[in-house]
Amino acid sequence: MKREMTTQKMAKTRIAAFLLGMLLCALTACGGDMTAKQPAETASETTEAQSAEAESETPEEQPAETASDAAALPTTDPSGASIVIPDQVDSVVALAPSIGETLVALGVEEKIVGYDLQSVGLAGLPENVPTFDTVNPDVEQLAALAPDMLLVSNLSLYDQEAPYQPLIDAGVCVICVPTSDSVEDVRSDIRFLAAALRVPEEGERVVAEMDAELARLTEVIADIPEEERKSVYFEISPAPYLYSSGSGTYLHELVALAGGRNVLADQSGWLSVEGETVVAANPDVIFTNVNYTDAPVEEILGREGWAGVSAVQNKEVYYIDNMASSLPDQNIVKAVEQMAQALYPERFADK
What are the sequence ranges of the domains in the chain? 1-35+73-179, 207-348
For residue 10, give the 3-state DSSP assignment: helix
Tens of each residue's pLDDT in the chain, 351 residues: 434 344 444 444 444 444 444 433 333 334 433 233 333 333 344 444 444 444 444 444 444 454 445 558 999 999 999 999 999 999 999 999 999 999 999 999 999 999 999 999 999 999 999 999 988 899 999 999 999 999 999 888 656 778 899 999 999 999 999 989 999 999 999 999 999 999 999 999 999 999 999 999 999 999 999 999 999 999 999 999 999 999 999 999 999 999 999 999 999 999 999 999 999 999 999 999 999 999 999 999 999 999 999 999 999 999 999 999 999 999 999 999 999 999 999 999 876
Going by C-alpha positions, the residue among 189, 203, 274 that lies closest to residue 239 is 274
Domain 1-35+73-179 matches domain 207-348 at the CATH topology level: yes
Which CATH architecture describes the domain 207-348? 3-Layer(aba) Sandwich (3.40)
Residue pair 60/188 in contact by the 8 Å Cβ criterion? no
Estimate to the nearest angstrom the gap between the alpha carbon of 149 and the chain centroid. 19
Residue 94 pairs in a beta bridge with 115, 151
Q: Regarding the domain delimited by 1-35+73-179, which CATH topology (the fold level of the hierarchy) does it fall under?
A: Rossmann fold (3.40.50)
Query: What is the per-residue DSSP string for 112-163?
Result: EEEEEGGGTT-TTPPSSS-EE-SSS--HHHHHHH--SEEEE-TTTTTTSSST
Does the predicted TM-score (pTM) go above 0.95?
no
| CA nearest to 246, candidates 233, 259, 258 | 233
Cα separation of 351 and 341, whole Å?
Answer: 10
Q: What is the DSSP letter of 35?
A: -
Rounded CA-CA distance 54/43 in Å is: 16
Q: How far apart are CA 77 and CA 46, in angstroms?
A: 13
Q: Using CA atoms, how far apart are residues 50 and 42, in angstroms rounded to an integer?
A: 15
Nearest to 327 by CA among 127, 177, 163, 114: 177
